[in-house]
Amino acid sequence: MIAGIGLVTCVYVNPETDQFWLIDYRLFAPDVDGKTKLDHVTDMLDQLAPRGILYRTVLMDSWYATTALFKWLLAAGKTFYCPLKSNRLVDDSGDQQPYQPVGCLCWSAEEVAQGKILKVKGMSRDCKLKLFRVLVSTHRTDYLVTNEAEPRDTAAAEQESNVRWTIEPLHREPKQLTGVQACQCRLARSQRNHIALAVRAWTRLKQAAYQTQRTVYQLKQGFLDAYMRHELIKSALAFA
């Protein structure tokens, strides 16, 4: 989400080349279309197959860690990594004890390093997920859940999940380079057009940056430098 706009984005990331592309977005406006952010996410994922976009893993924020989305991804045969909130109810006892919050689980040294198998409330009994405990700082612990079939340790799972932070430069660059959040129009259609054009401008900048092996900031600054040099040599404006 971009603060003040309500832009829900779907980003394709290639971690091997360290490149990413914005492939879809939705404007969160429940008063207009009655759709939640989860509805928008499902709509975007539904559109990937008809568009011929192949992907293996879905990374998302804890906001989207719903049972319905987990079931959708499992039915689609996709792998997912997602943080769980500490109050999410789970069972790691094999149906021997009632569900309890993630934050109340007991962890052995081996489980901290390798993760633990458990069931999330609302999922079928035969659906076992793997939970990892990630120590972010002395005051913060994250819980990361995945349906990855192959055995992975906590460090590998954390590295896989960290790819989702690619969303941060994607939200930062359009704001700093295109002014996507600075439109002063009052009509909803004008705002939507402005956002679409800003996203289009950023997409072209990003494509050119990949081709020239420069950053989008260097590319835009180069445009401005060339313009200033041209104006200093032969100004298009006549001064008295």
Q: Give me the pLDDT at residue 58, please.
A: 94
Reported as a single tens digit per residue, the pLDDT across 38-94 is 999 999 999 999 999 999 999 998 888 999 999 999 999 999 999 999 999 999 887
Nearest to 215 by CA among 150, 153, 169, 155: 169
Helix intervals (H) in 105-235: 109-114, 154-161, 167-178, 188-212, 216-233
Please report which helix (H) or strand (E) contains residue 130, including its range: strand 129-137
Cβ within 8 Å of residue 98, ≥6 positions away: 91
Region 113-128: mean pLDDT is 89
State how far the Cα of 139 lies from the Cα of 141, in Å rounded to an integer. 7
Angle in degrees, CA 97, 152, 167, rounded to 5 = 100
β 140-146/79-84 pair status: antiparallel
Q: Give me the pLDDT at residue 239, please.
A: 65
Cβ within 8 Å of residue 229, ≥6 positions away: none
Q: Give me the pLDDT at residue 193, please.
A: 93
Confidence of residue 240 (pLDDT cuts 50, 70, 90): low
Q: Give me the pLDDT at residue 83, please.
A: 92
Q: Give me the pLDDT at residue 5, please.
A: 61
pLDDT beyond 60 at 170: yes
Confidence of residue 119 (pLDDT cuts 50, 70, 90): very high
CA distances to 25, 39, 67, 137, 197 from 64, in Å = 15, 10, 9, 23, 27
Q: Give me the pLDDT at residue 145, please.
A: 93
Q: Give me the pLDDT at residue 1, please.
A: 43
Task: Identify whether the C-beta of residue 115 lies closer than 8 Å to the C-beta of residue 126.
Answer: no
Reported as a single tens digit per residue, the pLDDT across 31-44 is 888 999 999 999 99
Task: Identify whether the C-beta of residue 63 lies closer than 8 Å to the C-beta of residue 82.
Answer: no
SS (H, E, C) 81-104: EEEECCCCEEECCCCCCCCEEHHH
Q: Which amino acid belongs to residue 227?
A: Y
Nearest to 114 by CA among 135, 137, 131, 94: 131
